[in-house]
Structure 1
Amino acid sequence: MSLDPPPYLGSLRNNIRQRPIPWDGAVRAGTITEAQLAKIRAVDKVRQEQRKQTVERDLDGYRVLFVGEPGTPGVLESASRRSDVVQYILVLLSDLLEGAPALAKALFKDSDPYRHFLPLLAHTNNPEDPIPLLTSTVLATLMASSQDESQSTEHALPLILSYLCGMTKNSNDAGLQDIAVMEYSSLLYGRSNRQLFWQQRSETVAPLIDILRKAAGIGGDSSASLYSGNNTVKSAGFEGLGGGVGLQLLYHVLLVLWQLSFEAEDIGDDMNDEYDIILLYTQLLRLSPKEKTTRLLLSTLYNLLEANPSTLLPAAVLARLPSLLQNVSGRHLTDPDLLEDLDRLKEMLEEYTKTKTTFDEYVAEVQSGHLRWSPPHRHQTFWAENARKIFEFENGEIPRKMADIMKKPWENDKAVLAIACNDVGCLVKEVPEKRYQLEKLGLKTRIMELMQDADESVRWESLKALGGWLKYSFENN
């Protein structure tokens, strides 16, 4: 997938192209050889078509120029002490790889072309040094153009991803972030690369999720405000909002995660468990101001839900995606792929919700690990009809999950603890003979602890829940 380079990278490369390099002096100093200079001049500052023809007529010669061969060092190695020459050669190589893609495959005739470039990623600690950035561009273009999936690429990719990760975390420089994200996109051309990208998700995916959370105008705990129905989330669209995330950067981040979603069968559940991806994407879809972002959001959601229906469709219902899709249908949308994904999503969710009961929705909410004040919690009839089923479901899975939820402090969303106390109190009231099962899970002890919580609603709900235990204790005495 070809994307125009970000303005910062284009400007940097143009400046380097225009710098005069004293090539003859470099030959006299032994920095480069006459033969190397002849090959450089044959493709430097000439028309693109002429450059392409020259390279394709002599692929082996240009392979040797850049990566060398036994007894003949490549130009980057021989000119390693001249930063100006190295910068120029890196830009020239990027141009050649883009203009003559056959060169990329030719470079792989060398058993490991990466060994000439990877050290340049750590060329210096000076953030102003362009060599590491230019090297990452060469490597991304080399991989994307060759579509290589060899063992040498498998070994090199984690190092390249780690370098790019540093740029994606640089929230003070959106230009560098955009370059890194676009290079990510070019690298995700094959299944093995996408799997390696996911294996390094603390470096690769997590910073991208942070960018999306900022774009949606929500804080560090994305699910807290959204699950609790907090209306303070910004809702006027991305551009100029959400921590200053620009529309282009947002689009490129969504593009990378869309590419990653083609591995949804293997990673979809983990994406949702670790990043609340369904909830986050539902909020992003609510705010999406452009068809191109809406298209990527819908397509990614479809990939995730279609590959993981039993686990992620309940999460989508909990995030209120079905009603949002009806609203999206009312927008003036023209993209045929977007409309197709929208229809397929609506159909999938309608088919799922047809057969689901309030009990199913409650179970899905508890299994999501994040409670909100949805209707069942305060509905007396729901508890009268379903409390016993809750104990029996999957041999007591729901009370166990409730205990896990209540172990967390929930500093950013105290409502979760209040809701959990409410639910435990309802279970004790409706099925008092099961209260010892709840005690074995530590729920009574945890509720007693929460009576001292700083949050008033948590204290009140824990007091009410404990009242059920006390009531039956007194009645038995």
Structure 2
Amino acid sequence: MSLDPPTYLASLQSNIRQRPIPWDGAVRAGTLTDDQLARIRAVDKLKRDQRKQIVEADLDGYCLLFVGAPGKKSVLELAAKRQDVVQYILVLLNDLLDSIPALSKALLKAGNPYRHFLPLLAHSSNPDDPIPLLTSTVLVSLMAGSRDESPATVDKALPLIFSYLSSLTKNPDAGLQDIGVQEYSSLLYGSASRQQFWAQRSETVAPLIDILRAAAGVANGDASASLWSGTTTAARSGFEGSLGGGVGLQLLYHVLLVMWQLSFEAADVGEDLNDEYDIILLYTQLLRLSPKEKTTRLLISTLYNLLVANQNTLLPTAVLVRLPSLLQNLTGRQLTDQDLQEDLTKLRELLEEYTKTKTTFDEYVGEVNSGHLRWSPPHRNTVFWAENARKILEYENGELVRKLAEIMKKPWENDKAVLAIACNDIGCLVREVPEKRGQLERLGLKTRVMELMAEGDENVRWESLRALGGWLQYSFDTK
């Protein structure tokens, strides 16, 4: 999938192409050889088709120019001290790689081209130094053009390139962020590169999630809590400019494109993606705010890839965040994108088939397993607890109450309602199945409930008091 180059990068490359370089003086100074200059001049300032014809007729010669050979230094090695020449060569090589796929394959066959380029990624810590940025474009074009998945590419070069690109996505400059994200997209051409991208997710995926959370209008410090509690600040205004957090629509689209590419590995990464980043919740919120069909299409398609590959674990979360009702609303819109309509239909059918057979108990299990509680209908429904309290305690040998215990151990600084809801549920279990109080006490739940009586939040104190009342009511019973 070809994307227009980011404005900053295109402008930088254009300026470098137009700078005059005293080539003959450079040859006399030993910065490059006569043969190297002849090959540069043979393709300089020519149209794409002419360049392609010349380079394909002399692939060995151009490999020699750019990566050298035993006993013969490349032009980058000879010109290492001439920054203007290095910049020009990097721009020229990227232009050739973009238009001549055969050159990418030839360079990889010629040896190990990465040894010439990878050191240039660390050329300078100065963010204004263009050489690392230009080098990254060459490496991305080389890999994307050849679609190489050899160990030299995937195991050695790719991790270093991903690390460099992650520094761009973390940069506060939106232009540099967009360059990093677009280059990610070019690299995720196969399963091996996507798996490596995921393996480095603290560098690669996490900054993209930060951008998406900003677009959803939530601060990263309390992102999940804000989304779950429905306190997002994103507003559907200024669609032609940006969403919440100042995220431009172009950057948003490119981030969503990368995440969509990653979703083709959903069978391997889907559960962790949701556990670590609340991706189903985040995408549901973004879907509510999506201003364009092209962003909506990527959101829907990514959700479908994730859900269809992880039906047992992620479909309950999708129902919990009210995705089915949101899709129903989307269906009522006048959508013109055929692919979007088809993906929307498939996603709705998947969720409808799941919800047809699910009970309120299944919804409660899904909510607890999501790791985040909210005041959904079962919590206050006395009939629900009368019918299901024992089932909850016995579910998968007590796994559900162990999960409740894990939830209650957390402080939930940004969403105290979770603690209040958990206390409510524990109290209901004690009242409905008092003979199982020992099971709850062994998990530390009675102690935690008593601790929460000193909580600053009034609702948490009240619910913990009510829960403790269940124990006091049976305090003289035999456990």
TM-score computed with the length of structure 2 as normaliser: 0.98
Q: Corresponding residue for 2:165?
A: 164
CA distance in 1, matches of 2:227, 2:203: 25
C-alpha deviation, 1:237, in angstroms: 7.0
Structure 2 counterpart of 1:445, one-letter code: T
Q: In the alignment, is residue 139 of structure 1 matched against residue 136 of structure 2?
A: no
Cα gap change, 1:391/1:475 in structure 2, threshold over 3 Å: closer, same or farther? closer
Q: Corresponding residue for 2:390?
A: 388
Q: Corresponding residue for 2:471?
A: 469
Q: Identify which range, 33-42 or 221-230, moves more after superposition.
A: 221-230
Residue pair 1:387, 1:427 contacting (<8 A) in 2 also: yes
Q: Identify which range, 218-227 or 441-450, moves more after superposition.
A: 218-227
CA distance in 2, matches of 1:237, 1:409: 37
Cα gap change, 1:18/1:24 in structure 2, threshold over 3 Å: closer, same or farther? same
CA distance in 1, matches of 2:392, 2:204: 39
Gaps of 5+ in 1: none
What are the within-5 Å matches in structure 2 for residues 272-351 of structure 1?
272-351=274-353
Q: Corresponding residue for 2:34?
A: 34
C-alpha deviation, 1:102, in angstroms: 1.0
Q: Corresponding residue for 1:12?
A: 12
Cα gap change, 1:232/1:428 in structure 2, threshold over 3 Å: closer, same or farther? farther
What is the DSSP-based 3-state SS (H/G/I as helix, E as strand, rest coil) of the residue aligned with 1:395? coil
What is the DSSP-based 3-state SS (H/G/I as helix, E as strand, rest coil) of the residue aligned with 2:231? coil
Cα gap change, 1:280/1:320 in structure 2, threshold over 3 Å: closer, same or farther? same
Residue pair 1:237, 1:289 contacting (<8 A) in 2 also: no
CA distance in 2, matches of 1:139, 1:226: 38
What is the DSSP-based 3-state SS (H/G/I as helix, E as strand, rest coil) of the residue aligned with 1:356? coil
What is the DSSP-based 3-state SS (H/G/I as helix, E as strand, rest coil) of the residue aligned with 1:451? helix
C-alpha deviation, 1:229, in angstroms: 3.1
Q: In the alignment, is residue 125 of structure 1 matched against residue 125 of structure 2?
A: yes
What are the within-5 Å matches in structure 2 for residues 70-109 of structure 1?
70-109=70-109
Q: Corresponding residue for 1:254?
A: 256
CA distance in 1, matches of 2:407, 2:352: 30
Structure 2 counterpart of 1:249, one-letter code: L
Deviation string, structure 1 residues 98-129 (Cα, Å, up to 9, x no partner): 12121111101122110100000000122111
What is the DSSP-based 3-state SS (H/G/I as helix, E as strand, rest coil) of the residue aligned with 1:352? helix
Deviation string, structure 1 residues 237-278 (Cα, Å, up to 9, x no partner): 764332110000000000000000000011111111011100
CA distance in 2, matches of 1:228, 1:411: 13
C-alpha deviation, 1:455, in angstroms: 1.1
What is the DSSP-based 3-state SS (H/G/I as helix, E as strand, rest coil) of the residue aligned with 1:3? coil
Structure 2 counterpart of 1:37, one-letter code: L
Structure 1 counterpart of 2:249, one-letter code: L
Percentage of identical aligned residues: 76
C-alpha deviation, 1:378, in angstroms: 0.7
C-alpha deviation, 1:475, in angstroms: 6.0
Residue pair 2:216, 2:232 contacting (<8 A) in 1 also: no
Residue pair 1:167, 1:177 contacting (<8 A) in 2 also: yes
Structure 1 counterpart of 2:102, one-letter code: A
Residue pair 1:140, 1:186 contacting (<8 A) in 2 also: yes
Residue pair 2:243, 2:249 contacting (<8 A) in 1 also: no
Q: Corresponding residue for 1:356?
A: 358
C-alpha deviation, 1:223, in angstroms: 2.2
Q: In the alignment, is residue 225 of structure 1 matched against residue 229 of structure 2?
A: no
C-alpha deviation, 1:232, in angstroms: 4.3
Cα gap change, 1:237/1:304 in structure 2, threshold over 3 Å: closer, same or farther? farther
Q: Corresponding residue for 1:63?
A: 63
Structure 1 counterpart of 2:78, one-letter code: S
Q: How many residues align?
A: 476
Gaps of 5+ in 2: none
RMSD (Å), alpha carbons: 1.2
C-alpha deviation, 1:51, in angstroms: 0.9
CA distance in 1, matches of 2:445, 2:238: 42
What is the DSSP-based 3-state SS (H/G/I as helix, E as strand, rest coil) of the residue aligned with 1:117? helix
Structure 2 counterpart of 1:51, one-letter code: R
Residue pair 1:237, 1:288 contacting (<8 A) in 2 also: no
CA distance in 2, matches of 1:58, 1:51: 11
Residue pair 1:218, 1:234 contacting (<8 A) in 2 also: no
Structure 1 counterpart of 2:333, one-letter code: R
Q: Corresponding residue for 2:212?
A: 212
C-alpha deviation, 1:233, in angstroms: 4.5
What is the DSSP-based 3-state SS (H/G/I as helix, E as strand, rest coil) of the residue aligned with 2:420? helix
Structure 2 counterpart of 1:4, one-letter code: D
CA distance in 2, matches of 1:347, 1:99: 43
Residue pair 1:67, 1:73 contacting (<8 A) in 2 also: yes
Residue pair 1:27, 1:34 contacting (<8 A) in 2 also: yes
CA distance in 2, matches of 1:299, 1:143: 26
Q: In the alignment, is residue 183 of structure 1 matched against residue 186 of structure 2?
A: no
Q: Identify which range, 145-154 or 219-228, moves more after superposition.
A: 219-228
CA distance in 2, matches of 1:441, 1:236: 48
Residue pair 1:225, 1:233 contacting (<8 A) in 2 also: no
C-alpha deviation, 1:219, in angstroms: 2.0
Residue pair 2:56, 2:103 contacting (<8 A) in 1 also: yes
CA distance in 2, matches of 1:230, 1:423: 24
CA distance in 2, matches of 1:63, 1:466: 76
C-alpha deviation, 1:235, in angstroms: 4.1
Residue pair 2:169, 2:180 contacting (<8 A) in 1 also: yes
Q: Corresponding residue for 2:373?
A: 371
CA distance in 2, matches of 1:194, 1:201: 10
What is the DSSP-based 3-state SS (H/G/I as helix, E as strand, rest coil) of the residue aligned with 1:473? coil
CA distance in 2, matches of 1:43, 1:457: 73
Q: In the alignment, is residue 398 of structure 1 matched against residue 400 of structure 2?
A: yes
